[in-house]
Structure 1
Amino acid sequence: MHMKTAADSDSDDDLIGPPVPKKTKSGSDYDSDEGGNERQSDKIPLSEISIINGEKAVIALAADPAGSRMVTGSVDYNVRLWDFGSMDGTFQSFRSLQPCKSTPIKDLKFSMTGDLILIVSGMSHAKIINRDGFQIAECHTAPLNRGSWHPRSREEFLTCAEDSTCRIWNVENLRHHKTIFKTITTHNAATIPTACAYSRDGNTVACGCNDGSIKMWDSRKMFDKTTMLLQEAHKPGTEISCVTFSHLGSLLGTRGESSLKLWDLRLFKNPVHTFENLFCRYPTTNLTFSPDDTMVVSGKSLQRGETTGTMYFFDLKSYEKVKEIEVTDSHVIKTMWHPKLKQILVGCGNGIVKVYYDKVQSMRGAKLCVEKAPRKVNQTEVVTPDQILSVNALPLFRQNKAKSTWKQIQRDRQDPIKSCRPELPIAHGKGGRIAKSGGTLTSHVLHNLGVRIRDDKNPREAILKFAKESAENPYWVSPAYIKTQPLPIFEMGDDYQRKND
């Protein structure tokens, strides 16, 4: 039998009714906004790693749907591919390339299957490479601004360009676009689309223009008329840098010069909320939604006097700031919250890519690299740069390999000396060339029948053979001086005069 004590009776008198919940006792109420913000902040990954992409700003960033690979593009024209599964603690990319020569990379997007990457730069060529970095194809149009893959079709993608057009392409036929439509105002004036995107179901195409307007088309119909148009979505003259649909498809987020706006597609006349004081210096600054569509994330660029770039998290129900993270000492340009990895990728203005992950909730991705130690270099495998002398490698002893006759003919054709045509014969000498003798019938006859006198004798001997006869029988000079000057007197010359002097 259980007996009640006096203490028990006193406690029963104090507690009347059901017990108070423990959550209320501790002072935490989940129905309050403060408690909601605390729960939202718990979803934000805070552990971070820093990946050095280069020295220039990272203005393009994407990851494949599986979360195994990441691609980055920067102002230094380089596109780098990263594999989370093979990277170690040094965080080195497995491939770096310059597909667009000397043009900054504006946008990078993985296809829905993750096997193709769309590269958009300032050039008039949208290039497509595979996940290993090898080029597949390219399409031609005006200088491009943005691009986007179709969320349901791996062959279809969208581009917007400086010629006030948006074009839909098919990977199988890139010589001509599949569909083209122009972005014009209500007064039929052309505007330049600076951002474009597909909705999550692929039925809607949205474009943000450089005059602050937003235009939408139904991709299942003809693109001759917009289904939704808001002329002054942002301030006139504001270049919209990003247009993004939420995962559920009911919200549209746009990023302008210093604001982030949320739009309800069911009531598109006015924004649901506007977040101000979010300055962006780069025209590729974007926004991203959390995987559960409860938060929106965007970065802020540095203004004069500021020293730290910040990333902001806003609640989509209360529209309050949930958290702000100081990322780096430079601009925060690109953000991406991967739904499968539950990690946030951030591209910064100093060439650093930061990956934020949670040690408990996040899966794979950056966690694979952090847990993998750098590979130790085995000293026995190091090859010293010794000098090797090979006699057979000298040009004197080198034997030419047998080459194809056709290839040799092609090389000889490129040689200006071997492929030089002989000069044609000329009738008269000109240009420093002397005409060849015997070109006419007369010269040929004279050359063969004419008598040629060959004077190949010694001239001194020819003259001295008459010396004896001229001394015995003088005829010209000696008879003239025989009476006046019988003995010949010759001039001694200048040398004799100098000696006497």
Structure 2
Amino acid sequence: MDFYLGETFILTFGVPEVSDVIAMADHSSDAGDSSNDGDISSVMGFSGFGKKARTFDLEAMFEQTRRTAIERSQRALEERQKQEIEESSVSRPVSHTEKPSTSMSRKQEADSSSSSDSDSDVIGPPLPPQKEEDEDDDEDVVGPPLPPGYKRSTADSDDDDDDDDDDDDNPVKKIPDTHEITLQHGTKTVSALALDPSGARLVTGSFDYDVKFWDFAGMDGALHAFRSLQPCECHQIRALQYSVTGDVILVVAGNSQAKVLDRDGFQVLECVKGDQYIVDMANTKGHTAMLNDGCWHPKIKEEFLTCSNDGTVRTWDLTSEKKHKSVFKPRSLQGKKVTPTCCTYSRDGKLIAAGCQDGTIQIWDRNLSVHTKFHCRQAHAPGSDTSCLAFSYDGVTLASRGGDDTLKTWDIRSFRKPLNVVSGLTSFFPMTDCCFSPDDKLLVTGTSVRKDEGNGKLLFFERQSLQKVYEIEVADTSVVRCLWHPKLNQIMVGTGNGLAKVYYDPVKSQRGAMLCVVKSKRKEKHAETLTQDYIITPHALPMFREARQRSTRKQLEKDRLDPLKSHKPEPPVSGPGRGGRVAAHGGTLSSFIVKNIALDKTDDSNPREAILRHAKEAAENPYWVAPAYKKTQPEPLFAEEEDEEEEGDKDQPEWKKRKI
């Protein structure tokens, strides 16, 4: 096929390629001859390649945009001045006819110029006129567009934004402390607290060796625990924590073997005890000394962590109870063994942190147990027990509660010196802890007091500067444990006198303690006691023995069978009405007689006696039969019973006579 373009021949075979067509189009555009378009249209079968591509002058567009922005700012300034003048001259009316007219003219000019520019430069269909006007008004408004016919109230939106900003800027308003309930665990220090992830159950542990289970949904106003047990016999409870899924509980006590219980308190796992005669603790299967702390992995539900006085931090697997999973050995600057007093995982579970007795904080990578990844030698005073380490929710900040009465925050990325320090926070217990608020803006810890020397307080610090922003006076004793549950938005506190307090706000909190405070107390059941003192004399003669006294429980069971004492309700009426009760049977006379008289079996008397009961009255006052036959009836003669018996005895032989 031959194409003739100007004075150039192009020989092609078959269907022309796209590149060839584009080349021909470029060649024809350079020639600028109108006849070429006609030749192409006659050869290719279409009129042309469409409209000419639009070119954009960027400098002109930038200049136009700058000019429009200046006009808008001037317009806003004029409107602001107009409002100020109106507010200042409320008593004196002022004419504003000239300025709005000028602003309107400017607006019309801007609209005309923008419309002309949009016709020349903007690609696409033009915007509706109402939309263009609304764009200028709603330019700075944040939020979804309103439907047509509605106007946005700037004053209300500004007020709402201010309120939201105040709530966001002031995290103190989010503290739920308007209401509280008190759970009586015992008389000794509540040394451990744990809430399951859903917030349905609370577990408390104490120095009295008891672990008590509290169910918010099942408790009434009496606030009693539904189960109490001693999982580790005579060892103080050091730490309790629910797993990520909430189905098992880690129990760390004063012995060397941690235990795992299910939700009902039954044992699932007991860690193995190591060989205390082996020097290298990495070669033993478990801990050989008292445990100090423990926690679950935040991501893996089968893994947990413990630290002990044997100088090791060990990880365990719930599926294998015969040996630990890995061992981390804290070391001092001289390479000597150091006792870890607290341990925890980072929020992502990749780091393991331990606070040691020499005041150091050592952090390892979970998969590398030999060398520390972060190490601070002088985090707290040497010889003081670091009681708690807590990571923030964003995983960047680490808070440490030291035995030197301080609270410090650290940045993991620069771990050489603390970000902020608060001193003077008295701590008498080796498990005084700290925690972050759910919004990650506050840091909470408790203080200890001596007896009759004041009240223990729950202190709230701003996370960035550690400025004290709020405090709660809990009781006239030390505040040992504190826990702020993110889902319930409730604060649990364990005190030194055996109380566990729950702080909540009916507006800001949900479920938890709010479920049980609305329930009335159940009636107390009488204890099973004897009615009177009973003296057991097994060797006494029967005539001198006392009858065995029944307990109140058996007496109650016996009274239960008595329909009068147990107030048994009357059964439904199956027959005709009795005693004023009406049945649903037929109302005819025959049915009444059959049901009420013929089938009435309540009279169990002898029928002969029932007839003879009227014999005397019939003999004295005859009325029906006797008067009619009085003249013709002969006098009845009755044989005497004694004579018959005697005659019978005479006729009978001697051996058949009765023996009297």
TM-score (norm 2): 0.54
Pick the aligned partner of 1:196 from 318, 343, 346: 343
Q: Equivalent residue for 2:175?
A: 44
Q: Cα 1:11–1:228, aligned 2, differ >3 Å: closer, same or farther?
A: farther
Q: How many residues align?
A: 381
Displacement, 1:248? 1.2
Pick the aligned partner of 1:322 from 464, 469, 473: 469
Displacement, 1:196? 0.3
Pick the aligned partner of 1:245 from 377, 382, 391: 391
Q: Equivalent residue for 2:370?
A: 224
Using the alignment, how far apart are the partners of 2:440 and 2:88 within structure 1? 53
Residue type at the aligned position of 2:347: R
CA offsets per residue over residues 103-146 of structure 1, 9 Å max, x none? 11011111001111111111011011011111111002222110
Using the alignment, how far apart are the partners of 2:92 and 2:385 within structure 1? 69
Displacement, 1:154? 1.1
Is 1:23–1:29's contact at 8 Å kept on the other side of the alignment? Answer: no
Q: Percent identity?
A: 45
Is 1:150–1:198's contact at 8 Å kept on the other side of the alignment? Answer: yes
Higher helix share: 2
Q: Equivalent residue for 1:440?
A: none
Q: Equivalent residue for 1:184?
A: 331
2:257 counterpart of 1:125:
yes
Using the alignment, how far apart are the partners of 2:208 and 2:406 within structure 1? 28
Q: Equivalent residue for 2:124?
A: none
Residue type at the aligned position of 1:89: G
Displacement, 1:305? 6.4
Displacement, 1:242? 0.3
2:268 counterpart of 1:268:
no
Higher relative contact order (CA 8 A, sep 6+): 1
Using the alignment, how far apart are the partners of 1:213 and 1:378 within structure 2? 55
Using the alignment, how far apart are the partners of 2:510 and 2:395 within structure 1? 25
Q: Cα 1:73–1:11, aligned 2, differ >3 Å: closer, same or farther?
A: farther
Using the alignment, how far apart are the partners of 1:320 and 1:51 within structure 2? 31
Residue type at the aligned position of 2:262: N
Which consecutive residues of structure 1, in runs of 5 or more, have no partner in the other structure? Answer: 14-18, 395-501
CA offsets per residue over residues 274-330 of structure 1, 9 Å max, x none? 111111100000001000101010000004762211110011134321111100010
Is 2:342–2:386's contact at 8 Å kept on the other side of the alignment? Answer: yes
SS in 1 for 2:516: helix
Is 1:214–1:233's contact at 8 Å kept on the other side of the alignment? Answer: yes
Is 2:304–2:316's contact at 8 Å kept on the other side of the alignment? Answer: yes
Is 1:279–1:303's contact at 8 Å kept on the other side of the alignment? Answer: no
Using the alignment, how far apart are the partners of 1:69 and 1:44 within structure 2? 21
Which consecutive residues of structure 2, in runs of 5 or more, have no partner in the other structure? Answer: 1-85, 95-152, 274-286, 540-660
Is 2:433–2:445's contact at 8 Å kept on the other side of the alignment? Answer: yes
Displacement, 1:377? 4.9
Higher strand share: 1
C-alpha RMSD over aligned residues: 3.4
SS in 1 for 2:91: helix
What is the 5 A alignment of 1:253-332?
Answer: 253-257=399-403, 258-303=405-450, 306-332=453-479
Pair member with larger Rg: 2
Using the alignment, how far apart are the partners of 1:52 and 1:22 within structure 2? 48
Is 2:420–2:465's contact at 8 Å kept on the other side of the alignment? Answer: no
Using the alignment, how far apart are the partners of 1:277 and 1:12 within structure 2? 64
Using the alignment, how far apart are the partners of 1:295 and 1:169 within structure 2? 32
SS in 1 for 2:258: strand
Pick the aligned partner of 2:488 from 338, 341, 353: 341
Q: Equivalent residue for 1:10?
A: 91
Q: Cα 1:238–1:22, aligned 2, differ >3 Å: closer, same or farther?
A: farther
TM-score (norm 1): 0.70
Q: Equivalent residue for 1:149?
A: 296
SS in 2 for 1:333: strand
Structure 1 window deviating more from structure 2 (292-301 vs 316-325): it is 316-325
Q: Equivalent residue for 2:638?
A: none
Displacement, 1:174? 1.2
